[in-house]
Amino acid sequence: MTTEAAKRVPIPPRGVDYRGKLVLAPMVRSGELPSRLLALHYGADLVWGPETVDHSLIGATRRVNPDSGMIEWTRLPTNEQPRGPGKNGGAAAPELKETVVYRMDPVREAGRLVFQLGTSDPDRAVAAARVVAGDVAGIDVNAGCPKPFSISGGMGAALLRVPDKLCAILQALVANIVPEFQVGVSVKIRLLETPADTEALVRRLVATGITGLTVHCRTTPMRPRERAIRGQLRMIANVCREAGVACVMNGDVENRDQAAGLVEEYGVDGAMIATAAEKNPSCFRTAADGGLAPWREVAEKYVEYAIDVENKWGNTKYTLNQLVPGREPVYRALARTKCYTELCEAFGFSRLLDRARKLDTKVGLRPSTDTNKGTAKFQNGTALAAGGNMAGARSSGSEPRRALSERGVSAQKPAAIEV
């Protein structure tokens, strides 16, 4: 091995080396805290949080939730101002409620959480990173998301078209965040149109002082259903190795055993899983360690984490829709739940019921008040979760329930929004 090949960019004391790691990809909605904890539970070495835009972080307040112990960054809505007394000295209007911008577990994620930043400006990137850098193991710049919410602000994959700006952002973070917080800076990109274009970009990026580069093996126009392109991987890995930067591959990585083979085949340093982890994060286990766990085990552990960290109800429901196979009868019962209590009843998670009720009371979630359906709706769901066959039960004289396709609703689950 040559001296150049053995070169490594120093990993800061609080940073983490991506080499030899299998990690959870940054995914919008599917990458919130309970999903990350679930991935770690099943063996992920590192986890990326979902892209968080710089504007939303700047001015956010850091707090420790006294009930859950989680670190939360919160802020008031930016499109409204707090309201004062009512007209003619009447009662004051309700105060605006703070929203949680980002949430992390300071114990279970310690040293293993990489914060992905959405930005298009060096100064804003530094200001936003300063808000969270003291609590995370790394700052990763999103330069690969092709979705409109990212590229419309000049972020994500839009940065691939302006390499000067992308390099300036990385250099600013390396110059300011690394010495101040002692964590590394990395970037996640996509392939460009030609191998030559990709190589030229990667050479510029690895010269900025970053410790890691993740390449999603698709071009910007490609979608998850299109197979990943791996022909450029070895070239990218070699360029990274020459500069001493860790190279992580992303795209159609299904499980730990497959990842080990891909790392060996293409000479990369690590691998990242997205869609497969959204469906069943026990994919981080080897076959020897048990392989994929049954979906009910995974779902129950997820719900436990979601309750413990006070995850937003809508996100919990969305994520469960990815974890529960659509063919399962309880999948329909899930759609009718309105709170954590109903969710635990529908799935038969009786050991979580008391905690679910406490959280519902705290955050103001209420069970369904439909007196015609009542509790039987969720007792039905519980029976389904336990393997019953009450899905077709309905009161005498009621209309048969039409299929989703007949009601103009797609039964297909949405693909992960990977960033």
Can you give the pTM of this predicted structure?
0.86
Q: Where are the alpha helices (DSSP H) in 80-157?
A: 122-132, 148-151
**Three-class secondary structure assignment of 296-331:** HHHHHHHHHHHHHCCCCHHHHHHHHHHHCCCCCCHH
Confidence category of residue 413, pLDDT binned at 50, 70, 90: low
Residue spans of the domains in the chain: they are: 22-289, 295-397
Give mean pLDDT, residues 178-197: 98
Q: Which pLDDT does position 272 carry in this prediction?
A: 98
Instruction: Please give the mean pLDDT across all residues of the chain.
Output: 87
Of 145, 217, 247, 339, which residue is the catalytic one? Answer: 145
pLDDT score for 148: 87
Q: Across the strands, what pairs with 250?
A: 216, 272
214/186 Cα distance (integer angstroms): 8
* 8 A C-beta contact, residue 346 and residue 330: yes
Bridge partners, residue 190, by sequence: 216
Dump pLDDT digits (tens) for 250-296: 999 999 999 999 999 999 999 999 999 999 999 999 999 999 999 99
Check residue 1 and give its pLDDT. Answer: 35
In the predicted model, is pLDDT for residue 103 greater than 60? yes
323 pLDDT exceeds 50?
yes
280 and 55 Cβ atoms separated by less than 8 Å? no
- Given the candidates 3.20.20.70, 3.40.50.261, 2.60.40.2470, 3.30.2320.30, the CATH classification of the domain at 22-289 is 3.20.20.70
More confident residue, 327 or 414: 327
Q: Confidence band (pLDDT; 50, 70, 90) for 389?
A: very low
12 token code pair: 């800061």
At 152, the pLDDT band (50, 70, 90 cuts) reads: confident
pLDDT class of 379 with cuts at 50, 70, 90: very low
Looking up tokens 């949080």 gives 49
Closest CA to 343 of 300, 308, 312, 285: 300
pLDDT (mean) for 363-385:
55
pLDDT tens profile 165-179: 999 999 999 999 999
| pLDDT higher than 50, residue 135 | yes
- pLDDT of 196 over the 70 cut: yes
pLDDT greater than 50 at residue 3: no
Q: Which residues contact 28 (CB under 8 A, 6 or more apart)?
A: 50, 51, 147, 417, 418, 419
Closest by CA to 214, choosing from 185, 242, 171, is 185
236 pLDDT higher than 80: yes
> What is the Cα–Cα distance from 298 to 308, expressed in whole angstroms?
16
Residue 302 — pLDDT band, cuts 50, 70, 90?
Answer: very high
Share of the chain above pLDDT 70, in %: 82
What would the mean pLDDT of 145-152 be, rounded to a whole number?
87
Q: At 334, is the pLDDT very low, low, confident or very high (cuts 50, 70, 90)?
A: very high
Overall average pLDDT of the 110-129 stretch:
98
CB 112 within 8 A of CB 16: yes
Active-site residue flag, 145? yes
